[in-house]
Amino acid sequence: MAEERTAESRMQKALDRLITDYSEIRAGRANPNVLDKVMVDYYGTPTPVAQVGSVSVAEARILVIQPWDKTLLDPIMKAIQASDIGINPMNDGNVIRLTFPQLTEERRKELAKGISKRGEEAKIAVRNIRRDAMDALKKQKKAGELTEDDLRDEEEALQKMTDKFCKEIDEVAANKTKEVMSV
């Protein structure tokens, strides 16, 4: 039972990590999540952009950052330019605008390949967690802590859980691919 709960929480973490990775993919639409890893020097402390101003989606492809302190306009601009998001910020003295370019068909296909690759990596992680849990169960059986029937029941439950998480990963990947491929 303890092995099953541990395996389930580890599988959930693998799924959550995948969802976080997918949220950072720029799909031609304005998405505030692309700024999650951009840090601004806020009085000597690296601080996420979302904590130094409001980030909102003005239009489908325009993200607006309104800093709470106007002196932060330049540091935010520099942080965005130094990041790997590949968008040049525009500053009008009050707010910073990020205009997301329309994706080319080639870039969409490239992103879709990356999405399926990350999904497959997440499924491999889930299967590795299953393998570790199975090994732990077999050790318990060998030590006499589990009967043959209990071992079989635990293995079946573990397999069902693995299948459930793999199915969720496939659904998340399919949804993200659909989002990226839509014009």
Dist. CA 183–CA 181, nearest whole Å: 6
Q: 168 and 118, same structural domain?
A: yes
Q: Give me the CATH number covering residue 118.
A: 1.10.132.20
Total domains in the chain come to: 2
Q: 108 and 73, same structural domain?
A: no
Q: 147 and 164, same structural domain?
A: yes
Last residue of one domain, picked from the residues 84, 99, 114:
99
Dist. CA 98–CA 91, nearest whole Å: 9
Q: 114 and 48, same structural domain?
A: no
Q: 87 and 68, same structural domain?
A: yes
Q: 160 and 116, same structural domain?
A: yes
Dist. CA 103–CA 26, nearest whole Å: 9
Last residue of one domain, picked from the residues 99, 117, 146:
99
pLDDT for the residue 109: 86
Per-residue pLDDT of the chain (183 residues; tens, 9 = 90+): 667 788 889 999 999 998 888 877 766 677 777 777 788 888 888 888 888 888 888 777 788 888 888 888 888 888 888 887 777 888 888 888 888 777 788 888 888 888 899 999 999 999 999 999 999 988 988 888 888 888 899 899 999 999 999 999 999 999 888 888 876
Residue-number span of the structural domain to which 175 is assigned: 2-24+104-181
Q: 112 and 92, same structural domain?
A: no
Whole-model pTM over 0.75? no
